[in-house]
Amino acid sequence: MKLSTKGRYAVMAMVDLASTSKGNPVALADIAERQEISLSYLEQLFAKLRRGGLVRSVRGPGGGYLLAHAVDQTRVSDIIVAVDEPIRATRCAPGSPTGCRVNKSRCLTHDLWEELGNQIHLYLSSVTLADVCARRVLGTSHVIDHPTEPAPADPSPMAAAE
């Protein structure tokens, strides 16, 4: 899982598609204009989304793209996974626990990143296109409990993910 801007563009386009299409195909050119994304770039993204089974295409005049599933069945995590290249195993191997054993502490951090990936996926799996369209996204930030003492007061409020 790679959290890049590419995934953000794909989600923006899918939200546009979901909120524009009432069962009719939506032309990429329309999405490109509304979202201010280059048409050719969009075409590349939708090619991946189609291979991932998230959208269906209709060719010819009056054609365009359709959601393959209902809006409440299309999860944000699926979009990002479909669009972003899976992995670039620079140092550690992705899934293998024996992959990185150069040093103990490196393996320790490996566990941390893996769990972080789980957390991110967990959250993005809980949000569907229907949620984003209906603005049902904010307001459920509650603390993830963890087997350690609670952290002190936050000295540096973080910048947003963008």
Partner DNA sequence: GAAAAACCCTAGCAGAATGCTAAGGAACTT
Partner DNA sequence: AAGTTCCTTAGCATTCTGCTAGGGTTTTTC
For 55, counting Cβ atoms within 10 Å of its Cβ (0-12 exposed, 13-18 middle, 19+ buried), the class is: buried
Q: Which stretch binds its own copies (CB under 8 A): 22-30, 41-49, 55-63, 88-96?
A: 88-96
Q: Which is nearer to its own copies, 25 or 74 (CB)?
A: 74
Q: Is 50 in the site for DNA (CB under 7 A)?
A: yes
Interacting partner of 70 out of its own copies, DNA, none (Cβ under 5 to 8 A depending on kind): none
CA dist., res. 6 & res. 23, Å (int): 26
Q: Which amino acid is at 38?
A: S
123: left (phi over 0), alpha (psi -120 to 50) or beta: alpha
The number of residues that bind DNA (CB under 7 A) is 33
Q: Is 151 in the site for its own copies (CB under 8 A)?
A: yes
Interacting partner of 66 out of DNA, its own copies, none (Cβ under 5 to 8 A depending on kind): none
Q: Is 61 in the site for DNA (CB under 7 A)?
A: yes
Select from 24, 33, 44, 106 the one that contacts DNA (CB under 7 A): 44
| Letter string b/e over residues 96-125, b meaning 16 or more CB atoms within 10 A of that residue's CB | eeeeeeeeeeeeeebeeeeeeeeeeeeebe
Position of tokens 């996974």? Answer: 81
Interacting partner of 19 out of its own copies, DNA, none (Cβ under 5 to 8 A depending on kind): its own copies
Minimum CB–partner distance for residue 32 and DNA (Å): 9
Angle made by CA atoms 143, 148, 152, in degrees to the nearest 5: 65
Select from 6, 73, 98, 101 the one that contacts its own copies (CB under 8 A): 73
Site for DNA in 111-130 (CB under 7 A): none
Q: Is 153 in the site for its own copies (CB under 8 A)?
A: no
